[in-house]
Copies of this chain bind each other. A is one copy, B any other.
Amino acid sequence: MSNLHILCDLPFSGAALQLLKDGTSPHQLSFSYRAPGSSIYAPMVDPAMDGADIAFGHPGAGSVLASKQVKWLAVASAGFTPYDTPEFRKTAADRGLIVTNASHVFANACAEHLLSFMLAQSRALLPALGNRGDKAEVSQIKEKATCLRGEEVLILGFGHIGMRLIELLVPVQMKVTGMRRRPKGDEPISMVSLEELPGALAKADPVVNVLPDNAESAHFISTERLAQMKPGAAFYNIGRGATVDQEALMAALNSGHLGAAWLDVTVPEPVPADHPLRTTPRCFITPHMAGSHRTFMDGLARHFLQNLRLFIEGQPLLDRVM
């Protein structure tokens, strides 16, 4: 294959940059940085996209569509909402444009983050760490603490993060059920359909949401679905904030129906200091960081280079989403 032009809009530096430079040689690698603090998804048509064969990062969907030459869009996150539109999917299909995401790079960190949430909740970690030696309080904390073993977890959405979570949970010995919109039949756990969801929600504690953000999943966690959950259940979200009706979630926490909510994703992000989510009882928020880990830029570079080799060889790409 003749030399390819790779356009990257990610702020690589240090060892990860060197890795990327070495691995893409002799192909042409150029950078089109976004201003710091801008949205991760560039909204405008990028003139630098002209002549690029591969776009790596978060280019504007319009730029990719306007460029006739881009053959592979390597999205550098697990989510790919701006590209997940009927127009983009149709154009990609018509043009033979390959789209990959980077869910393998983030899946393990997301699954470990989720497990940190679930164990902090079951072990009553926050009240326990807050105890200052009061013996009556110690007794109460001990009565709250429980084990994940034997509990029934329901996982909504079933991509790489869900799969990695299931791997981590094998020795924990929970009863694991999953729900995905289009079950493929090869899932390693018991799956329920959308029709069976109310029954599954009524039995599960915890309920884990890793749904992607798209037209079908908007406000998937609604007043109705929250009401279907078991009283006292804990709810976790590391998918996308838009999949949850936050007003309904706050109401379910305020009424006492929901036991706890642990959210890594919200609308907006980060949650402002004076936002009502901040004062909602038993609502625990981390700032959209579940996929973060110290070496994730290295991981992104390695993932891209692995796919570049497959792309050049004409093999199926990892994490292909279109």
Q: In the complex the two chains form, what is the Cα distance from A234 to B273 in whole Å?
A: 31
* Of B128, B273, B289, the contact of A128 (CB 8 Å cutoff): B289
Segment from A20-28, A144-152, A211-219, A225-233 that makes contact with B? A144-152
- Does residue A4 face the partner (Cβ distance < 8 Å to B)? no
Whether A112 contacts B120 by the Cβ 8 Å rule is: no
The residues of B that contact A133 with a CB separation of less than 8 Å are 270-273, 275, 287
Tell me if A171 is interfacial: C-beta within 8 Å of chain B.
yes
For the complex, is A221 an interface residue (Cβ under 8 Å from B)? no
The answer on a CB contact under 8 Å between A108 and B147 is yes
Q: Which of B171, B272, B285 is A129 in contact with, Cβ under 8 Å? A: B285
- The answer on a CB contact under 8 Å between A273 and B146 is no
Task: Determine if B294 and A143 form an interchain contact, defined as CB atoms under 8 angstroms apart.
Answer: yes
Instruction: Tell whether, in the assembled complex, residue B116 and residue A294 are in contact, meaning their CB atoms are under 8 Å apart.
Output: no
Number of interface residues of A (CB under 8 A): 51
- Encode A111-144 as 1/0 by CB contact (under 8 A) with B: 0110110011011111011011111001001111
Q: Write out the residue numbers on chain B whose beta carbons fall within 8 Å of the beta carbon of A128.
A: 286-287, 289
Please tell me if the beta carbons of B138 and A287 are within 8 angstroms of each other in the complex.
yes
Specify the chain B residue showing the minimal Cβ separation from A299: B147
Q: Is B289 a contact partner of A141 (Cβ separation < 8 A)?
A: yes
Question: Whole-angstrom distance between the alpha carbons of A286 and B123 in the complex?
Answer: 10
Please indicate the chain B residues that have their CB under 8 angstroms from the CB of A109 in the complex: 145, 147
Please indicate which of the listed interface residues A131, A270, A293 has the most CB atoms of chain B within 10 Å of its own CB.
Answer: A293
A37 and B136 CA atoms in complex are apart in Å by: 10
Contact with B along A164-189 (1 / 0, CB 8 A): 00011011100000000000000000
Shortest Cβ gap from A185 to chain B (Å): 24
The reply to whether B112 and A116 form a contact with Cβ atoms under 8 Å apart is: no
Most buried by B among A124, A275, A292: A292
Name the contact of A286 in the complex, choosing from B125, B289, B295 (C-beta under 8 A). Answer: B125
Please, which residues of chain B bring their CB within 8 A of the CB of A12?
A: none
A284 beta carbon closer than 8 Å to chain B: yes
Q: Give the contacting residue for A168; candidates B144, B171, B278, B294; CB below 8 A.
A: B171
Interface bits A252-290 vs B (CB < 8 Å: 1, else 0): 000000000000000000111101001000001111010
The 6 closest A-B pairs by CB, nearest first: A116-B119, A128-B286, A142-B292, A132-B273, A133-B270, A138-B287
Q: List 14 A-B contacts (CB under 8 A).
A: A37-B135, A108-B147, A112-B123, A112-B147, A113-B145, A116-B116, A116-B122, A116-B123, A119-B119, A129-B284, A131-B285, A133-B270, A135-B270, A145-B292
Q: Which residues of A contact B (CB under 8 A)?
A: 37, 108-109, 112-113, 115-116, 119-120, 122-126, 128-129, 131-135, 138, 141-149, 167-168, 170-172, 270-273, 275, 278, 284-287, 289, 292-295
Additional 18 contacts, C-beta under 8 A, given A113-B123, A125-B286, A129-B285: A109-B145, A112-B172, A116-B116, A116-B122, A116-B123, A120-B120, A120-B125, A128-B286, A133-B270, A133-B272, A133-B273, A133-B275, A134-B270, A142-B287, A142-B292, A143-B292, A145-B289, A146-B293
